[in-house]
């Protein structure tokens, strides 16, 4: 886990340090990295589907099992130049019935973003960072490991947005939350989402 956390933290720190670097008189801004001003903050909401990668593996024989549920996300972010930025957010993954019990999970995360603008308020991008996840397994089935877990997990993904106006855009994302800790195991959680985004210009 430390091998993933350290380079991710360095990437996020580098994104935050770029604005001051560009403004340093000894390092004048170049056309490759500079913009007239930092991009405005944006915020939005998305809804989609979450999926446990391990699915029903390890479930009790004859018990109900599902691996998908509806997920929700709130997010906000900004860009420091034409390509690099940062985004924070909170995601509710949903609930899954399996192994004779119910599993629920959510996360708060921060990620560095890197992308390219393809039109006014439209872009494609990638993101990588860390998520603080919390999970809970409940149930009364014999042999079911129940309880709450919390831990830091790496997260990465890709996305794109299409501008509807100067302020509004529709957005699609795929994200993977890797090695999320559940009681007695670790699993990856994939999330596909569609949402709306508003830029505070």
The predicted model scores a pTM of: 0.77
CATH number belonging to the domain at 2-27+38-199, selected among 1.10.3660.10, 2.40.170.20, 3.30.950.10, 2.40.160.20: 2.40.160.20
**What is the predicted pLDDT for the residue at 63?**
59
Q: How far is CA 150 from the centre of its chain?
A: 16
**What is the predicted pLDDT for the residue at 57?**
55
What pLDDT, in 10s, does the model give residues 32-81?
444 446 688 999 999 999 999 876 655 555 556 778 999 999 999 999 99
User: How far is Cα 136 from Cα 132, in angstroms, rounded to an integer?
Assistant: 14
Query: Average pLDDT of the chain?
Result: 83
When mean pLDDT is compared across 22-26, 123-127, 155-159, 196-200, the lowest value belongs to 22-26
Copy the structure tokens of residue 180. 């999320």
108-117 exposure pattern, b = at least 16 Cβ within 10 A, e = fewer = ebbbbbebeb
**What is the predicted pLDDT for the residue at 201?**
84
Domain spans, the chain: 2-27+38-199
When mean pLDDT is compared across 5-19, 94-108, 119-133, 174-188, the lowest value belongs to 5-19
């Amino acid at each position: 886990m430390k091998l993933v956390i350290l380079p991710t933290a360095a990437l996020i720190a580098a994104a935050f340090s770029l604005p001051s670097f560009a403004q340093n008189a000894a390092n004048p801004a170049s056309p490759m990295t500079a913009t007239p001003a930092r991009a405005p903050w944006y915020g939005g909401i998305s809804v989609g589907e979450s999926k446990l990668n391990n699915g029903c593996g390890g479930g009790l024989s004859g018990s109900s099992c599902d691996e998908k549920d509806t997920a929700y996300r709130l997010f906000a972010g900004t860009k420091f130049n034409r390509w690099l930025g940062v985004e924070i957010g909170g995601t509710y993954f949903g609930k899954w019935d399996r192994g004779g019990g119910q599993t629920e999970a959510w996360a708060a995360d921060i990620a560095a973003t890197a992308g390219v603008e393809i039109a006014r308020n439209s872009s494609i991008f990638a993101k990588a960072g860390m998520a603080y996840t919390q999970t809970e397994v409940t149930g009364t089935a014999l042999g079911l490991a129940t309880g709450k877990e919390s831990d830091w997990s790496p997260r990465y993904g890709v996305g794109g947005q299409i501008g509807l106006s100067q302020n509004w855009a529709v957005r699609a994302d795929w994200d993977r939350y890797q090695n999320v800790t559940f009681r007695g195991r670790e699993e990856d959680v994939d999330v596909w989402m569609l949402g709306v985004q508003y830029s505070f210009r």
